[in-house]
């Protein structure tokens, strides 16, 4: 299935990985949102569970292993073009996770990867909902 102008929404995962007082963010290397900061994640592959997709995406995108916890929320990411057509539509299931190993490095479709504290969030180009999720993970 094509990602740009898809025929139906694309099932995806995001992972909020905590390591002490920090959460991992990646700078997106592809559209939508190229150059913006986000939680690591990506599309679910055919035959893959959400948990399997979250683990695979975390390893591919940033070289990390994590212990997955609860599902935090499911969100729609819909972007329309100037004519109002749906250019991108992802349904993203976000999981909480605890760091288990590896060195955070950008790979696959990420330009950068970094651990951030709650105080550093204001300076990053992040959607308000992602900032709220990061705070939620850091406070629990």
| Predicted structure pTM score | 0.92
Would you say residue 3 has pLDDT above 70? yes
Give the pairing type, strands 10-19 and 41-43: antiparallel
Would you say residue 56 has pLDDT above 80? yes
Among the residue ranges 20-24, 80-84, 104-108, the one predicted with the least confidence is 104-108
Distance spanning both ends of the chain, measured CA to CA: 37
Predicted confidence at residue 86, as pLDDT, reads: 98
All domains in the chain, ordered by first residue? 10-134 (3.90.79.10)
Among the residue ranges 6-15, 77-86, 97-106, the one predicted with the least confidence is 97-106
Would you say residue 40 has pLDDT above 90? yes
Predicted confidence at residue 5, as pLDDT, reads: 97
The mean per-residue pLDDT over the stretch 84-103 comes to 97
Residue 110 to residue 14: CA distance in whole angstroms = 13
Predicted confidence at residue 138, as pLDDT, reads: 94
Residue 123 to residue 64: CA distance in whole angstroms = 24
Would you say residue 127 has pLDDT above 90? no
Residue 23 to residue 32: CA distance in whole angstroms = 22
Predicted confidence at residue 108, as pLDDT, reads: 67
């Amino acid at each position: 299935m094509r990602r740009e102008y898809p025929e139906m929404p694309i099932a995806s995962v995001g992972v909020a990985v905590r390591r002490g007082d920090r959460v991992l963010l990646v700078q997106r290397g592809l559209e939508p949102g190229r150059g913006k900061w986000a939680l690591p994640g990506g599309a679910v592959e055919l035959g893959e569970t959400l948990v399997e997709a979250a683990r695979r995406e975390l390893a591919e995108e940033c070289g990390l292993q994590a212990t997955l916890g609860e599902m935090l929320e499911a969100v729609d990411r819909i972007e329309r073009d100037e004519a109002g057509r749906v250019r991108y539509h992802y349904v993203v299931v976000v999981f909480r996770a605890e760091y288990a190993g590896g060195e955070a490095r950008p790979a696959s479709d990420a330009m950068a990867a970094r651990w951030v504290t709650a105080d550093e969030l204001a300076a990053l180009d992040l959607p308000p909902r992602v900032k709220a999720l990061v705070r939620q993970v850091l406070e629990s």
